[in-house]
Amino acid sequence: AVSQASIAIRGDQPGPTYDKRIFTQFAEHLGNGIYGGLWVGPKSKIPNTRGFRNDVVAALKELAVPVIRWPGGCFADEYHWREGIGPQAKRPVKINTHWGGVTEPNTVGTHEFMDVTDQIGAVAYVSGNVGAGSPRETAEWLEYMTATEGSLAEERARNGHKAPFKVPYFGIGNELWGCGGTMRAEYAADETRRYATFAKVPRGTPLTKIASGANGADTNWTEVMMRETRRQVNGLSLHYYTVPGGFGTMKSSTDFNEADWAETMSLTLKMEDLLTRHGAIMDRYDPEKKVFLAVDEWGTWYHDDPGTHPGFLRMQNTLRDAVVAGINLNIFAAHADRVKMTAIAQMVNVLQAMIFTDGPRMVRTPTYWVFHMYKPYMDGTVLPISVSSPTYTQGKYAMPSVSASAVRGTDGLVHVGLTNLDPNRPAEVSVSLAGLTTGSVSGQVLTAPTMNALNDFDTPDTVRPVAFTGARMAAGGTMTVTLPAKSVVMLQLR
């Protein structure tokens, strides 16, 4: 059976910008997120540029990654920047106490991170150490990176980089309610004010400071941070993961049934409610929307895959994750007036990754391809959209099956992202296009025969977008689209 949905798009009422920073990536010193995934060293047989693997850099370049958040995550509040500069052989080897208790060689430090960020064509979002650091450490790191004169600038030049680094974004700690120091909101707010005071760059250099935000539904955190820190920071973060089974009892990334699929989808749809609730609090303190919301950690989190290191958060990525990504990218459009940045966790080999590596091999995940399909949204104009969706029911779960967003791209074309999370039934969608003069429609679709289809190193192209032929223009400014079951579709209207 086919379900019926209807969508109305207003082409004549431009909304906020779909900020390209919504496609920010996150690279933490965690498992093989950095070592092995990005960094192999200049002497590696794996083709590399100054130690960073060419295949991964090229694939990320193709995604037009705008910003990279580093070095954590939880790692950030244990990281001491001085240990990651100077001759690599002389850098201290530490224990990564948060992620697996393995050694951290500090081979990738500030200079190396800036190099790979540059190779990818992105800019840096550096997370400072509030939990185990000091305001002095924050001040000196920023001076080291950005000063044009003085002994820290000279030290940077001796270490190979005369010109200041660009640090457009700086995080005032990470998850201060948890791994960043187990702080109460009030204490975290005071610490944020203190650290933000010393987070300085040379006059005339822009620096966007982002405060550590709430854990999921903790609206009190947002309330306190907005009340106490809104004049010291430019952005406030929010972390929300889709965790079927819940933390501690996470389920498999690949071995799941339809109930697990439905649970995953219903959990990810909660992002909508979270953005509405946190956004309403921010609106009260900041009606002019000067402080943006940065959902700088989101994505799926399953049990780590069998045979992998338990501290490395290595988990497979299937069609299910692709649909999750599409749904979230649609939800962000509806909140684009406040949400200016988001970062899926994480870029390579960790959690809902874009890319997996295994020695010399690399594979793009289904999630990678969704990010690829949504590229035309970057810095486009969100168009108002209303969706009337059929309900998908599975056991105790019931939810709308169709989600959508529409953006007029910087290319002038209207792009419409659609997902159908119903794993069984296609959806026939009738779309009204008010205020748009369009002649033709083309698109791409990402789907697969099974819910847990994935790309592995031997069959890397199982789940990837192909040309979509299920949309056609009809009379009177309307369009009909047949969305396959469990699919993500991106249309382009000319």
Rg of the chain (C-alpha set) = 22
Q: Which of residues 350-389 bind ligand AHR (CB under 6 A)?
A: 351
**Residue count, binding to ligand AHR (CB under 6 A):** 10
The arrangement of strands across the sheet holding 385-388 comes to 385-388, 3-10, 427-434, 478-483, 471-474
Structure tokens at 92: 């201290």
Phi first, then psi: give them for residue 38, nearest 5 degrees. -115, -50
Q: Given 78, 104, 112, 297, which residue is catalytic? A: 297
Whichever of 153 and 183 has its CB closer to ligand AHR, that residue is 183
Tell me whether strands 208-215 and 169-172 are parallel, antiparallel or unpaired: parallel
Using CB positions, name the residue nearest to ligand AHR: 73
Q: Closest approach of Cβ 178 to ligand AHR, in Å?
A: 6
Structure tokens at 109: 């430090």
Whichever of 368 and 377 has its CB closer to ligand AHR, that residue is 368
Q: Closest approach of Cβ 345 to ligand AHR, in Å?
A: 4
297 is catalytic: yes
Single residue of 19, 112, 115, 175 touching ligand AHR by CB under 6 A: 175
**286 to each of 230, 291, 345, how far by Cα in Å?**
8, 7, 28
Q: Closest approach of Cβ 348 to ligand AHR, in Å?
A: 12
User: Are 124 and 169 spatial neighbours (Cβ–Cβ below 8 Å)?
Assistant: yes
Whichever of 175 and 321 has its CB closer to ligand AHR, that residue is 175
The half-sphere exposure of 153 on its side-chain side, counting CA atoms within 13 A, is 11
Structure tokens at 38: 């990005």
**369 to each of 9, 262, 451, 488, how far by Cα in Å?**
25, 22, 16, 10
Whichever of 98 and 486 has its CB closer to ligand AHR, that residue is 98
Whichever of 319 and 345 has its CB closer to ligand AHR, that residue is 345
Whichever of 5 and 30 has its CB closer to ligand AHR, that residue is 30
Give the three-state DSSP class for 57: helix
Q: Given 175, 191, 228, 263, which residue is catalytic? A: 175
**404 to each of 330, 355, 489, 490, how far by Cα in Å?**
6, 25, 9, 10
Q: Give the closest residue to 424 by CA, choosing from 462, 406, 451, 452.
A: 451
Give the three-state DSSP class for 473: strand
DSSP 8-state assignment for residue 387: E
CA–CA separation, 451 vs 460, rounded Å?
17
36 belongs to the binding site for ligand AHR (CB under 6 A): no
Kindly report the length of the chain.
494
Q: Closest approach of Cβ 297 to ligand AHR, in Å?
A: 5
Structure tokens at 222: 């947002």
Whichever of 191 and 422 has its CB closer to ligand AHR, that residue is 191
- Residue 341, exposed/middle/buried by CB under 10 A (0-12, 13-18, 19+)? buried
28 belongs to the binding site for ligand AHR (CB under 6 A): yes
Q: Closest approach of Cβ 349 to ligand AHR, in Å?
A: 12
User: Are 331 and 374 spatial neighbours (Cβ–Cβ below 8 Å)?
Assistant: no
Structure tokens at 165: 């680094």
CA–CA separation, 64 vs 422, rounded Å?
30
Q: Closest approach of Cβ 298 to ligand AHR, in Å?
A: 10
Give the three-state DSSP class for 185: helix
Structure tokens at 431: 């779309």
112 is catalytic: no
Whichever of 349 and 381 has its CB closer to ligand AHR, that residue is 349
Alpha helices in 310-349 (DSSP H): 319-334
Q: Closest approach of Cβ 354 to ligand AHR, in Å?
A: 14
Q: Which of residues 330-349 bind ligand AHR (CB under 6 A)?
A: 345-346
Q: Which of residues 414-473 bind ligand AHR (CB under 6 A)?
A: none
Q: What angle do CA 84, 144, 162 make, to 5 degrees?
A: 95
Q: Closest approach of Cβ 334 to ligand AHR, in Å?
A: 24
Q: Which of residues 66-85 bind ligand AHR (CB under 6 A)?
A: 72-74
Whichever of 301 and 377 has its CB closer to ligand AHR, that residue is 301
174 belongs to the binding site for ligand AHR (CB under 6 A): yes
CA–CA separation, 445 vs 473, rounded Å?
17
Q: Closest approach of Cβ 96 to ligand AHR, in Å?
A: 11
Give the x-and-dash track for 275-314 against ligand AHR (CB under 6 A). ----------------------x-----------------
Q: Hey, which residues are catalytic here?
A: 175, 297
Site of interaction with ligand AHR (CB under 6 A): 28, 72-74, 174-175, 297, 345-346, 351
